[in-house]
Chains A and B, each alone.
Chain A
Amino acid sequence: MSELYQKLATAILEGSSDKVPGLVQKALDQGLTPKDILDHGMVVGMNEVGARFKRGEMFVPEVLMSAEAMQAGLKVLRPHLASSGAKLIGKIVIGTVKGDLHDIGKNLVGMMCEGAGFEVIDLGFNVDPEKFVQAIKEHRPDIVGLSALLTTTMRAMGHTIKAIEEAGLRDQVKIMVGGAPVDAEFAQRIGADGYGSNAPAGAELAKRFVGAA
């Protein structure tokens, strides 16, 4: 039993998208609970990926391979998690702020968060502050992630946070920001709860917000 968890963790670590779904199915067939498969197998593997990336032993393309393997496993696991009433580790709404058409950084963070075991709702790019407010009301996420690449659009992050405050939703969510021109000091100034310097760091931060890291 623990051997299967170990195999799952290793397959995630190695980024084997082809192996993970089969292993998840095998675990389900053996009667392991979806929640245990997630926590003791898949998340263990992904945590090791995060640790190795931090130590400079894994590189971004390899981390993404592991995230993809995680996603492939979640695809099999998700219906079972839902029917067993167990939840993923958290829910995140992400989007690139108004006036900014840059999509890639935000997509990577979304992928990494999904890989870390979050449910991710992606609002896309050039997202109005009002749309973020609507999404919070509708999806009730734990975390909102704002992305911007341009020094000219990073101010829209502040506007978005203000709109969330004005809607009376600020204390319901943690807000994280990221993107090339953003730093920790800027994040603090506009009233965000945290800043991720790159995609894996963003996922790490999200895990800290929900007490999973």
Chain B
Amino acid sequence: MRTNYRVNSGIQFRMFSQDQLQELFESVLHVLQYTGLDVHHDEARDILKKAGAWVDGLRVCIPPYLVKRALEMAPRSFTLFARDGNPKHDIHIGPGRAYFGPGPTCPNFIDVDTLERRPYVKSDVPIVAKVVDALPNIDFCESLGTVSDVHHELGATYEFAGMFPNTSKPIVAWSYNWQDSADIHKIAITEAGGQEAFEKRPNYVHYCEPLSPLVSTFEAMDKLIFAARHRVPLVFTPCPISGGTAPVTSAGIIVQAAAESWMGLVVAQTIQPGLPFIMGGVLSAMDMNTMILSYGAPELALNMAGLTELAHYVGLPLWQTGGCTDSKVLDEQAAIEGSLSVFFSALSGGDLCHDVGYTESAMTGSVFQLVMMDEAIGYARRITRGIEVNEDTLAVEVIHKVGPNGHYLREPHTRRYFKSEFWYPTLCDRHNFEEWDMLGRTPMRQRVIDRVHDILASHQPSPIKPETEKVIREVLEAAEDRVKQAA
């Protein structure tokens, strides 16, 4: 009998050496110190100046010690909680864990009935949330669109009001400004049981997006300050484009994106030390033929893996990207681009991987892409779970017992492990030809469509509290009054 014998080594992807990571890190510090960023927010500049940054007009340069102190304060591990207390819907951010979810703000949506592309509307929000809630490998919710059929300032408020009752998985909430951020926060803390209860068990994450290259916009900073003051975990994610708004080289875009995100980090940690901060950046290429920002490019997966390594090197979780495509329809291109980026993201161990369900280079959200990627994520997760090696799994005794020309199907060992060792697909077909023929010869595309319709017909998310329903109605009424008065 061996003692203390346990080997669990998962599969991971490593691209950079320690020296390379240190070089990247020093380069980010260099950019923040000697180039700096334009910060279009008076209060944010004041906060930075008081903390020890150099401010010259809009330009803010940050000395390395400030960045290092902020990195020191930000946690690597923390939990996002399901609003209904369902532990299966909690997200435990930390080393070796990769979570997945959709992205925000696509102008268009693939209609779930007609399968046609059209503008994203308010009634699409509950559909996306319900599908997210039902899928076993989708862990957090975003809406996959910008609501087009309400007043243009209220899109995010309606979006959150539509998502929150229809999934208990943590939401990553996009918003325009301070006011709609406050709308969202009011709804979330009501369900949590007040501000302090929310601080202990946050049920949503605030999403801010600065501008590339090297600009902290007023809105991004204002929203960041809102989140920091109210202790809302924060994603601060620029979207630089290689060759357009960022250096064409992968190392270069990683350095710039990190500098853009860490400006947010320093402000957030100065206001609220220890605030959960998820470093961001969607780092892809500008296609030099079509000028699109490619969501299916291998450079996206590669850059994101590089950024993930840098984030983990400095002790931050990362806002990963994957499961997205440049394809306009649910086809082979969508499957290839989506699945490979999902797999690469899972291998890199990026913490929250978003944009699952983006099609047409982020112009169109699709729950069909989302459902197909749920299967790809299941596949990828089985691989990254790795191979467990211990005395029982090595199975030497079972091999001896069965011997030559025996079989393992009746062995208790097989029965003990066949469910946990194997991943079972829900969409990929493994029937033989005759069975597949009998079942109607459905291709993947049809099975995906059927699954979406099944979920929408049968899935019941757990309800929100009655008082939260009331607050949602009040928030929406007040928001409508607000825009009427402004007009």
Is A62 on the interface with B (CB-CB < 8 A)?
A: yes
Q: A61 touching B432 by the CB < 8 A rule?
A: no
Q: Which residue of A lies closest to B433 (CB)?
A: A183
Report A's interface with B, CB cutoff 8 A: 59-62, 64-65, 68, 101, 103-104, 107-108, 183-184, 197
* Interface presence of B123 (CB below 8 A): no
Q: Smallest CB-CB separation from A104: which chain B residue? A: B407
Chain B neighbourhood of A184, CB < 8 A: 434
Known contacts A64-B409, A183-B433, A184-B434; can you find 20 more A-B pairs with CB under 8 A? A59-B418, A61-B409, A61-B410, A61-B414, A61-B415, A62-B415, A64-B410, A65-B415, A68-B410, A101-B405, A103-B405, A104-B405, A104-B406, A104-B407, A107-B407, A108-B407, A108-B409, A183-B432, A183-B434, A197-B432
B88 CB-CB contact with A under 8 Å: no
B435 CB to nearest A CB, Å: 7
Task: Check A61/B435 contact, CB under 8 A, given A68-B410, A103-B405, A104-B407.
Answer: no
Nearest CB in chain B: distance from A100 CB, A:
13
Q: With A68-B410, A103-B405, A104-B407 given, is the CB distance from A197 to B415 under 8 Å? A: no
Pairwise interchain contact A59-B419, C-beta atoms closer than 8 A: yes
Residues of B452-477 contacting chain A, CB below 8 A? none
Residue on A nearest B426 in the bound complex, by CB? A56
Contacts between chains A and B (CB distance < 8 A), count: 28
Q: Which residues of chain A come closer than 8 Å to B409, judged between CB atoms?
A: 60-61, 64, 108
Interface of A is mostly: helix
- Is the Cβ of A197 less than 8 Å from the Cβ of B407? no
Whole-angstrom distance between the alpha carbons of A65 and B410 in the complex?
A: 7
Q: Give the total of B residues in contact with A, Cβ under 8 Å.
A: 13
Q: How far is the CA of A108 from the CA of B410 in the complex (A)?
A: 10
Which residues from chain B contact A107 at a C-beta distance below 8 Å?
407
Give chain B residues whose Cβ lies under 8 Å from the Cβ of A197: 432, 434-435
Minimum Cβ distance to chain A for residue B423 (Å)? 13
Residues of A within 8 A of B410 (CB): 61, 64, 68
A179 to chain B, nearest CB (A): 12
Interface set of B (CB-CB < 8 Å, partner A)? 405-407, 409-410, 414-415, 418-419, 432-435
CB neighbours of A59 from chain B (8 A): 418-419
Cα–Cα, bound, A121→B41 (Å): 87
Q: What is the CB-to-nearest-CB distance from A205 to chain B, in angstroms, rounded to a whole number?
A: 12
Q: How far is the CA of A77 from the CA of B434 in the complex (A)?
A: 37
28 sampled A-B residue pairs with Cβ under 8 A: A59-B418, A59-B419, A60-B409, A61-B409, A61-B410, A61-B414, A61-B415, A61-B418, A62-B415, A64-B409, A64-B410, A65-B415, A68-B410, A101-B405, A103-B405, A104-B405, A104-B406, A104-B407, A107-B407, A108-B407, A108-B409, A183-B432, A183-B433, A183-B434, A184-B434, A197-B432, A197-B434, A197-B435
Q: How far is the CB of B57 from chain A (nearest CB, A)?
A: 66
Closest to B414 in A: A61
Give A103 to B404 CA distance when docked, in angstroms.
Answer: 11
What is the distance, in angstroms, from B296's C-beta to the closest C-beta of chain A?
A: 33
CA–CA, A65 to B419, complex, Å? 15
A157 → B minimal CB distance (Å)? 18
Question: Complex Cα distance A62/B418, Å?
Answer: 10
Q: B98: shortest Cβ distance to chain A, in Å?
A: 28
Query: CA separation between A64 and B419, bound complex, in Å?
Result: 15
Q: Which 4 A-B pairs have the closest CB atoms?
A: A104-B407, A61-B415, A197-B432, A61-B414
Q: How far is the CA of A107 from the CA of B414 in the complex (A)?
A: 17
Residues of B within 8 A of A101 (CB): 405
| Shortest distance between the CB of B442 and any CB in chain A (Å) | 15
CB distance from B427 to the nearest CB of A (A): 13
> Shortest beta-carbon distance, A5 to chain B, in Å?
26
The chain A residue with its CB closest to the CB of B415 is: A61
What's the minimum C-beta distance from A17 to chain B, rounded to whole angstroms?
11
Residue in B closest to A108 when the chains form the complex, CB atoms: B409
**Across the two chains, which residue of chain B brings its CB closest to A56?**
B424
Cα A108 to Cα B407 with chains together (Å): 10
Cα of A64 to Cα of B414 in the assembled complex, Å: 11
Residues of B within 8 A of A103 (CB): 405
Neighbouring A residues of B432 by C-beta, 8 Å: 183, 197
Smallest Cβ distance from A33 to chain B, in angstroms?
A: 31
**How many angstroms from the CA of A131 to the CA of B413 in the assembled complex?**
37
Inter-chain CA distance A107–B407, complex, in Å, is: 10
How far apart are the CA atoms of A108 and B406 in the complex, in Å? Answer: 11
Q: For residue A60, which residues in chain B have a CB less than 8 angstroms away from its CB?
A: 409
The winner among B405, B409, B418, B433 for most chain A CB atoms within 10 A is: B409
Determine the residue in chain B with the shortest Cβ distance to A201: B435
Complex CA gap A107/B410 in Å reads 11
Complex-state Cα separation, A184 to B409, whole angstroms: 25
Could you tell me the distance in whole angstroms from the C-beta of A63 to the nearest C-beta in chain B?
Answer: 9
* Chain A contacts for B418, CB-based, 8 A: 59, 61
In the bound complex, how far is the Cα of B434 from the Cα of A55, in angstroms? 15
- In the bound assembly, the distance between CA atoms of A212 and B407 in angstroms comes to 29
Question: Shortest Cβ distance from A110 into chain B, in angstroms?
Answer: 12
Q: Pick the most buried of B406, B410, B415, B419: most chain A CB atoms within 10 A of its CB.
A: B410
Q: Which residue of A lies closest to B434 (CB)?
A: A184
A-chain residues with CB within 8 Å of residue B414 when the two chains form the complex:
61
